[in-house]
Amino acid sequence: MSNAYRIAVLPGDAIGPEIMVQAMRVFDVVQRHRDVAFDLIECPFGANAYFSHGKAFPDETKAICDDVDAILKGPVGLSHEESQKIPVEEQAERGAILPLRARYNTFANFRPIFLSPDMAHFSPLKTEIVKDGLDILLIRELVGGLYFGEKQRGTNDKGLRYVKEVLEYDETQIRQVLEVAFEQAMQRKKRLHNIHKSNVLMSSVFWNEVLDEVHADYPEVEVIHLLVDAAATAMCLNPAQFDVMVMENMFGDILSDQAGGILGSLGLMPSACIGPDKAYYEPSHGSAPDIAGQNIANPYSMIGSVAMMLEMSFGMNDEAQAVWRAMQSVFEDGFSTPDLSNDDNAQLVSTDVFGDKVMAKLDELLADS
């Protein structure tokens, strides 16, 4: 066997295990057609891990994740009511996701915003805006800013309750994600939108100063500066103007969810979280507890996260492209799942059947290549 890879699989909560089952099937299909083997190791992670192990990110999961080549993570979290049964510090985001990012310094979050012309009907935007499809790469800084800054709650000397959260970046944190963004821009259209709020925030002024320094190493790239509020509007009115976008942590969190709305669902947005030594891959959406167990969740973003892993962690570019083509062909053939489609002409199928159709097409594509 020429290549063998070990992968930690974190199924997550609610719909997570349902869509993860479909994503894991990709590895079986690929290794049938290629000289490669995948060792998939399932680990507890998230709210269910707290209930079974007392920790949202158990020590045994950390040990396995430390030792594997890549991590595949499903969505985590429960309903608001169920989450109240978990201590605040162990709720999925604080107790699992943020520690995962910090442990492996996954500073660059890649979120592809893609619609083929045949998938444009999923978007709620006017047909003339998205009829030619979309192909945008949003890059979000993932381990700095407000989400990782000092947090404090208390009562001040006036007897008023208060909260304080610190937005902090050092130049290395900013520089490393900007270098990634410029590299991606060089590989694409050599155009980079820098999203900031320098008219108000000193952190954005500093961000832009570091960007100017990095830009000197990439003179071929056109940089377009855009305030984050203006960017939110532009993404609705003319999303096709964007190619590569880069921004700090909270701006990226918000705008990437808006991008999911532009696509018609966050269920169409996989992501990659890249660090210097390890990466993890996950859907951009939440765990959708309201539809869990109904076999109606579309696995596109979970399967797409596997495609990103194949390309970015294992260098299997052709196989990754085959996965994308397989999924898009299922949509092009008129199939969708109930959670995703607002098209009266779509033939609605279950999560399992959608997965069956993707795997059948992927098998065919890999057999022919």
Out of 225, 248, 267, a domain closes at 267
The domain total for the chain is: 2
Residue 127 has pLDDT above 80, yes or no: yes
d(CA 233, CA 288): 27
Would you say the pTM of this structure is higher than 0.85? Answer: yes
- Within 8 A by CB and 6+ apart from 254, the residues are 228, 232
- Give residue 266's pLDDT band: very low, low, confident or very high (50, 70, 90): confident
Is 252 a residue whose pLDDT tops 90?
yes
* Contacts for 65 with CB less than 8 Å, ≥ 6 apart: 8, 43, 71, 100, 103, 104, 278, 280
Interval 320-337: pLDDT, tens? 999 999 999 999 899 999
pLDDT mean over 260-277: 93
Please tell me the predicted confidence (pLDDT) of residue 82: 87
**Looking at residues 169-191, what average pLDDT do you find?**
98
CATH number where 25 lies: 3.40.718.10
Q: Phi and psi of 10, rounded to 5°?
A: -110, 95
Do 182 and 255 share a domain, yes or no?
yes
170 classed as catalytic: no
Those residues whose C-beta lies under 8 Å from the C-beta of residue 138, and which sit 6 or more positions away, are 110, 111, 112, 113, 245, 247, 252, 255, 256, 259
One domain, residues 122 and 179: yes
Last residue of a domain, one of 235, 267, 299: 267
* 340 and 313 inside one domain: yes
Whether 243 and 322 share a structural domain? no
For residue 66, give the nearest of 35, 91, 43 by alpha carbon.
Answer: 43
**Would the pLDDT of 85 be above 70?**
yes
Q: For 202-236, what is each residue's pLDDT tens digit?
A: 999 999 999 999 999 999 999 999 999 999 999 99
Q: Which residue in the list 28, 39, 229, 290 is annotated as catalytic?
A: 229
- Whether residue 13 lies in the annotated active site: no
**pLDDT number for residue 1:** 54
261 plus 280 within the same structural domain: no
> Which listed residue (118, 253, 343, 356) is catalytic?
253
Same structural domain, 175 and 223: yes
Residue where a domain terminates, one of 222, 242, 267 = 267
Q: Do 185 and 296 have their domain in common? A: no
Write down the catalytic residue from 5, 50, 147, 280.
147
pLDDT of residue 348: 92
- Is residue 92 located within the same domain as residue 159? no
Residue with tokens 């007392």: 54
| Predicted confidence (pLDDT) at residue 104 exceeds the cutoff of 70 | yes
SS (H, E, C) the chain: CCEEEEEEEECCCCCHHHHHHHHHHHHHHHHHHCCEEEEEEECCCCHHHHHHHCCCCCHHHHHHHHHCCEEEECCCCCCHHHHCCCCHHHCHHHHHHHHHHHHHCCCEEEEEEEECHHHHHHCCCCHHHHCCCEEEEEEEECCCHHHHCCEEEEECCCCCEEEEECCCCCHHHHHHHHHHHHHHHHHCCCEEEEEECCCCCHHHHHHHHHHHHHHCCCCCCEEEEEEHHHHHHHHHHCHHHCCEEEECHHHHHHHHHHHHHHHCCHHHCEEEEECCCCEEEEECCCCCHHHCCCCCCCCHHHHHHHHHHHHHCCCCHHHHHHHHHHHHHHHHCCEECCCCCCCCCCEECCHHHHHHHHHHHHHHHHHCC
Q: Are residues 127 and 251 in the same domain?
A: yes
Our answer to whether residue 253 is catalytic in this structure is yes
**Which domain range does residue 226 map to?**
113-267
303 and 245 in one domain? no
Same domain for 231 and 306?
no
- Based on the fold, state whether residues 23 and 93 are members of the same structural domain: yes
Among residues 135, 257, 339, 343, which one is catalytic?
257
Residue 69: pLDDT above 70? yes
